[in-house]
């Protein structure tokens, strides 16, 4: 396998160096090909998602297929504009001159994807890499094996395989890929592997984007439209791959007085969404595999937690389903409060004063997203200013991802770099500044032999002090 990877990387480099992927025409042809895959093979892709994740067709369409089509269409529409150099003003210090910033591809890039949104998180970065003119290798997650092989087959059929390759496999293949030199690496996954990717990239000084995760908190204030809030929380938690989503609310914070109301609201809305027997609901994804199922079971079975389940808790090991489960006041030192849950379990932590919630959040690692439900303007302002996270949602969860004018990415433990919309194109481009000078307006003060008069002149030029420049020129 190591030989294959090396050969593939070398092939891509030759193709990239030929300049093929840099033309507008090539990029458009590839984006159109990708769009064809997302339109004509929708059924096949949805079936693969159902096979890997038990993802309902509607959720699969909403979160994966439609988003990929949207990304292709936006890139096709905007590419001309994105590719144009950006004219930039110059100042007195370099007068006379003109300048621009030219976007150029990095070269040959590696996209490592993950299993929870295996289509979206594979194809959206690949679309970004292609629109920026790079040659690309995609390594889909082996954990979502049906989608991995479906994507491999379809990309092999539709895309220019000399410049867009898929390498399937597990840890050995990923390690072999990371040994190679890439011009950029885009990784989506967990922070443990994120560190491995960054360390491997360090050997070649490769810049990296890491889309990681974290414990995304949601504060629920009192005096709000609790029904609407509950629905939004449920759709962002259990409606998103059964909570196996990097931006799902991981845990909630509310006041001791309000907790009962919140639990009631969640309980009744959950029943509306998933019925009385949610473990068997077809509208919720299953847990990806038995390893994660065991991991989540362990979180629930911990002695200090098991007695605090207030909603759900039912499990179906054979079908890898866990019912929407809410836990009230799990202790700070419990497992469930110390690792990213990534599943359909939702702890609610109660505090005396809702503001304590902000302190609790800022005492932990920076998450990929943080949410607050409130009508209190001051509380909202304080939350937005003080809580550092990849992104913030006010009275909403996860929706900020759908907005292409907002960059999507983490900070601290939740990652580095961002994408979506034009940020995707920028993520895979080197922004090269170009300065044009003529031969007029020579400033001899730049050159030796140095004199005090030259020093005066330089001081004036560097401060943009026109009077000073005139005085220096006149010898005053």
**Which of the residues are catalytic?**
211, 246
Q: Which of 4, 161, 260, 394 binds another protein (CB under 8 A)?
A: 394
Cβ neighbourhood burial of 213 (10 Å; 0-12, 13-18, 19+): buried
Minimum CB separation from another protein for residue 236, in Å?
10
Q: Does 268 bind another protein (CB under 8 A)?
A: no
Give me the 398-427 binding string for another protein, x by CB under 8 A, dash otherwise.
-xx-xx-xxxx--xxx-xx-x---------
Given the rule CB under 8 A, which of 55-63, 139-147, 150-158, 291-299 is the region that contacts another protein? 55-63
By CB under 8 A, the residues from 370 to 389 that bind another protein are 375, 380, 384, 386, 388-389
Structure tokens at 114: 């993950």
Q: Does 275 bind another protein (CB under 8 A)?
A: yes
Q: Does 217 bind another protein (CB under 8 A)?
A: no
Q: Which of 291, 298, 362, 470 binds another protein (CB under 8 A)?
A: 362
Q: Does 104 bind another protein (CB under 8 A)?
A: yes
Q: Which of 55, 231, 237, 315 binds another protein (CB under 8 A)?
A: 231
Q: Does 26 bind another protein (CB under 8 A)?
A: no
Minimum CB separation from another protein for residue 303, in Å?
32
Pairing of β 86-88 and β 309-311: unpaired
Residue with tokens 């009385």: 276
Q: Which of 29, 78, 94, 175 binds another protein (CB under 8 A)?
A: 94
# chain residues binding another protein, by CB under 8 A: 109
The Cα 462–Cα 457 span in angstroms is 9
Q: Does 24 bind another protein (CB under 8 A)?
A: no
Given the rule CB under 8 A, which of 137-145, 151-159, 187-195, 250-258 is the region that contacts another protein? 187-195
The smaller minimum CB distance to another protein, of residues 22 and 471, is found at 22
Q: Does 57 bind another protein (CB under 8 A)?
A: yes
Q: Does 89 bind another protein (CB under 8 A)?
A: yes
Q: Does 88 bind another protein (CB under 8 A)?
A: yes
Q: Does 212 bind another protein (CB under 8 A)?
A: yes
Q: Does 396 bind another protein (CB under 8 A)?
A: yes
Minimum CB separation from another protein for residue 41, in Å?
9
Q: Which of 10, 436, 470, 473 binds another protein (CB under 8 A)?
A: 436
By CB under 8 A, the residues from 282 to 341 that bind another protein are 283-284
Q: Does 198 bind another protein (CB under 8 A)?
A: yes
Minimum CB separation from another protein for residue 40, in Å?
7
Minimum CB separation from another protein for residue 85, in Å?
9
Give me the 442-471 binding string for another protein, x by CB under 8 A, dash otherwise.
x-xxxxxxxx--xx--xx--xx--------
């Amino acid at each position: 396998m190591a030989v294959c990877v090396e050969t593939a990387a070398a092939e891509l480099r030759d193709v990239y160096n030929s300049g093929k992927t840099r033309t507008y025409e090539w990029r458009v042809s590839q984006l159109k090909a990708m769009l064809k895959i997302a339109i004509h093979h929708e059924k096949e892709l949805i079936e693969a998602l159902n096979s890997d994740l038990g993802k309902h067709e509607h959720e699969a369409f909403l979160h994966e297929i439609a988003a990929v089509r949207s990304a292709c269409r936006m890139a096709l529409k905007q590419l001309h504009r994105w590719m144009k150099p950006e004219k930039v003003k110059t100042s007195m210090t370099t007068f006379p001159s003109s300048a621009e910033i030219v976007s150029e591809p990095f070269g040959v890039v590696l996209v490592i994807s993950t299993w929870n949104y295996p289509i979206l998180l594979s194809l959206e970065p690949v679309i970004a890499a292609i629109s920026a003119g790079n040659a690309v290798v995609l390594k889909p997650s082996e954990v979502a094996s049906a989608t991995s092989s479906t994507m491999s087959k379809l990309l092999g059929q539709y895309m220019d395989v000399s410049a867009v390759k898929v390498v399937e496999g597990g840890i050995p293949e990923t390690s072999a890929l990371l040994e190679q030199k890439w011009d950029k690496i885009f990784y989506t996954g967990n922070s443990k592997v994120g560190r491995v990717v960054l360390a491997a990239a360090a050997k070649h000084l490769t810049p990296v984007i890491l889309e990681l995760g974290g414990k995304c908190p949601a504060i629920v204030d009192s005096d709000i439209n609790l029904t609407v809030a509950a629905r939004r929380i449920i759709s962002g938690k259990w409606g998103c791959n059964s909570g196996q989503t990097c931006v799902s609310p991981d845990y909630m914070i509310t006041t001791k007085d309000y907790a009962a109301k919140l639990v009631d609201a969640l309980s009744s809305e959950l029943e509306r969404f998933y019925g009385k027997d949610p473990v068997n609901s077809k509208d919720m994804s299953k847990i990806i595999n038995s390893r994660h199922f065991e991991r989540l079971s362990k979180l629930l079975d911990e002695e200090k937690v098991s007695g605090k389940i207030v909603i759900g808790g039912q499990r179906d090991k054979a079908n890898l389903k866990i019912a929407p489960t809410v836990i009230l006041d799990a202790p700070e030192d419990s497992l469930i409060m110390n690792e990213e849950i990534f599943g359909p379990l939702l702890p609610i932590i109660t505090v005396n004063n809702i503001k304590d919630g902000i302190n609790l959040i800022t005492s932990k690692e920076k998450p990929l997203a943080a949410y607050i439900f409130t009508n209190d303007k001051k509380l909202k302002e304080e939350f937005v200013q003080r809580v550092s996270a990849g992104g913030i949602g006010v009275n909403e969860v996860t929706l900020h991802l759908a907005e292409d004018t907002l960059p999507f990415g983490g900070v601290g433990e939740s990652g580095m770099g961002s994408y979506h919309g034009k940020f995707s194109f920028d993520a895979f481009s080197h922004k090269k500044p170009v300065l044009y000078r003529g031969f007029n307006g020579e400033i001899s003060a730049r050159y030796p032999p140095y004199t005090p008069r030259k020093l005066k002149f330089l001081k004036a030029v560097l401060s943009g002090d026109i009077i000073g420049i005139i005085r220096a020129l006149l010898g005053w």
